[in-house]
């Protein structure tokens, strides 16, 4: 019988801070779950639980050495809502800010698709290598049925 190993998504990665990642070359977001109006100390918020892989610059993208955070909460309203339709999937994006609609408001953070094919291909290549390494590790693990 083949082992179907599935990670339990847990929040061990804190909260996503857009300002810390605003200049990233690309962000790979793997969405595990979405909760509408999740209770928080600051009132209910839409919340996405994700694994977030941030390629800070072109060098980390070329080298395949991103910052990986498993189980990170994304609770900024627009960012979280945009992720609700891809639960169980992944997307490659960058961050941007929109102009405020009312005077005195802060600009809102939004996801922007990565349109540069070379950047998208580098992220997909990284993810493919990561999956292959995980599968190889499982194949090399000792079996208990032997």
Q: What pLDDT does 10 receive?
A: 63
Rounded to 5°, the CA angle 26-111-130 comes to 35
Q: What pLDDT does 105 receive?
A: 82
Tens of pLDDT, residue by residue over 31-71, are: 999 999 988 888 899 999 999 999 999 899 988 889 999 99
By three-state DSSP, how is residue 60 classified?
Answer: helix
Residue 87's pLDDT band, with cuts at 50, 70 and 90, is very high
Q: What integer is the mean pLDDT of 14-31?
A: 92
Question: Do residues 111 and 98 lie in contact, with contact meaning Cβ atoms separated by under 8 Å?
Answer: no
For 113, counting Cβ atoms within 10 Å of its Cβ (0-12 exposed, 13-18 middle, 19+ buried), the class is exposed
Q: What pLDDT does 121 receive?
A: 92
d(CA 98, CA 133): 39
Tens of pLDDT, residue by residue over 104-114, are: 888 889 999 99
Q: What integer is the mean pLDDT of 69-84?
A: 91
Q: How large a percentage of the chain has pLDDT more than 70?
A: 88
For the chain, the structural domain boundaries read 18-99+106-139
């Amino acid at each position: 019988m083949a082992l179907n190993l599935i990670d339990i998504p847990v929040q061990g990665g804190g909260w996503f801070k857009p300002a810390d990642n605003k200049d990233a070359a690309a962000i790979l977001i793997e969405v595990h779950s979405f909760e509408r109006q999740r209770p928080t100390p600051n009132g209910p918020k839409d919340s996405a639980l994700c694994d977030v892989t941030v390629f800070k610059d072109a060098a980390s993208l070329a080298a395949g050495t991103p910052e990986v955070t498993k189980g990170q909460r994304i609770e900024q309203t627009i960012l979280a809502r945009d992720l609700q339709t891809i639960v169980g999937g992944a997307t490659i994006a960058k961050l941007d800010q929109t102009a405020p609609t009312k005077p005195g408001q802060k600009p809102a953070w939004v996801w922007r698709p990565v349109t540069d094919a070379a950047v998208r291909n580098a992220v997909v290549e990284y993810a493919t290598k990561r999956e292959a390494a995980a599968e190889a590790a499982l194949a090399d693990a000792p079996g208990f049925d032997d």
